[in-house]
Amino acid sequence: MESAAEAMGMAQIAAHPRPDSFGRFGKFGGKYVPETLMHALSELEAAFHSVVKDQGFQKELDGLLRDYVGRETPLYFAERLTNHYRREDLNHTGAHKINNAIAQALLAKRLGKRRIIAETGAGQHGVATATACARLGLECIIYMGALDMERQSLNVFRMKLLGAKVRAVHSGTATLKDATSEAIRDWVTNVETTHYILGSAAGPHPYPMMVRDFQAVIGKETRAQAMERWGGKPDVLIACVGGGSNAMGLFHEFVEDPDVRLIGVEAAGCGLESGWVLHGAMSYLLQDDDGQIIEPHSISAGLDYPGVGPEHSFLKILDLEGIIPALETSHAIAYLEVLCPTLRDQRTVVVNCSGRGDKDVQTAIKHLQI
């Protein structure tokens, strides 16, 4: 029997819904960037639309996703927790980030760019980008907040082992927001030779669309595997939300299915109520009364972004299923204790296990007093 990935085409890129001609989804999105970047963004958008139709590009990307990344990933039923887990943690590099990084690096080569820059929070996008650059022979510079470098020292070492230069960002809160700002400054300066691999479904158009579509393989595999497993769709999909890439990767395939509940779980503390421009796009942001961006409240570096009880869940799935989830994933798992008592029997719930927790061991030891 052919696998779910073979049946659907592993890298089949989504065709709906698309933003308008200004790169906006309703009032959100757009291109709010310096004039020096407008040509690069237009060039990138044209190249993206071209490769969507290019069978040669699709074949090469399919091969990399299958043979290098290790797709398709399993849809695992956790018997002791009675729900399903989308095992993106089993990808090469340990998270969903490689899906987008390898695709954008391949696209950058098509554009003749030899220098790659990226931002990273938890380090997973940085590791994925460094890995893709090593595989494709590209120079790699990663911007990372100094605070995140302390929290994620293992991933910093991995990036350096892979040949990337990791540049610490000490400005602002020294986290993902500031690393992204510094990466954009680099891009403005070196736009002719450099491609910026943005890891989140954020930033100026066409990045949110591109990241979503390159990550959409997660949801496509989930639909095909659910059909094989129980002959239908999941009833509920749950994913943690920081910059949105893993959530949109899972959700996008099901956005037009009204009978499938899509639940994004963000770090508690302060919610998203205000809308403004950050990093080239209109979105909901965490802001103070003066309109300044404020620091998110999260133990997890990967959710430490101001645009859109994990500890207990981290230990629970480790104890009951032998899976070490990333702290980001643990936020989504924690919501199950709120959700499950409200569901009727025989509801199928799929949680996106977006990454593994090796990188969080030191943080867990510190906060959980293990």
CA 325 to the chain's CA centroid:
15
Report in angstroms the alpha-carbon separations of 123 from 75, 119, 127, 187, 321.
25, 9, 6, 20, 25
50 within a domain of the structure (yes/no): yes
| Domain ranges, residue 39 | 21-71+96-196
- Spell out the long-range contacts of 107-112 with Cβ–Cβ below 8 A and sequence spacing 24 or more: 107/44, 107/47, 107/48, 107/51, 107/57, 107/195, 108/138, 108/195, 108/197, 109/136, 109/138, 110/47, 110/51, 110/57, 111/43, 111/44, 111/47, 111/195
Do both 229 and 292 map to the same domain?
yes
Which positions are annotated as active-site residues? 97, 119, 354
14 within a domain of the structure (yes/no): no
Listed residues 141, 166, 196: the one ending a domain: 196
- Residue 353, Ramachandran bin (φ over 0: left; ψ between -120 and 50: alpha; else beta): beta
- The pLDDT assigned to 328 comes to 86
CATH number of the domain enclosing 122: 3.40.50.1100
Do both 174 and 243 map to the same domain?
no
Report in angstroms the alpha-carbon separations of 193 from 113, 116, 139, 207.
5, 9, 11, 18
Would strands 83-87 and 139-145 be described as parallel, antiparallel, or unpaired? unpaired
Do both 259 and 129 map to the same domain?
no
- The pLDDT assigned to 299 comes to 42
Do both 289 and 190 map to the same domain?
no
Do both 184 and 220 map to the same domain?
no
Do both 361 and 297 map to the same domain?
yes
Do both 191 and 225 map to the same domain?
no
Do both 250 and 106 map to the same domain?
no
Do both 355 and 247 map to the same domain?
yes
Listed residues 166, 196, 226: the one ending a domain: 196
Beta-strand (E) ranges in the chain?
24-25, 28-29, 75-78, 83-87, 115-120, 139-145, 165-169, 194-196, 236-240, 261-265, 274-278, 281-285, 349-353
- The pLDDT assigned to 319 comes to 84
Q: Compute and round to an integer the Cα radius of gyration of the chain.
A: 19
- Series of mean pLDDT values for 10-residue runs along the chain (370 residues): 41 59 80 89 94 94 98 96 95 97 97 96 93 98 95 92 98 90 94 94 91 97 98 96 90 96 79 47 48 48 43 75 88 88 90 90 72
Do both 180 and 226 map to the same domain?
no
Number of domains in the chain: 2
Cα–Cα distance for residue pair 21/29, rounded to 1 Å = 11
Start-to-end Cα distance in the chain: 45
Do both 191 and 246 map to the same domain?
no
Do both 156 and 119 map to the same domain?
yes
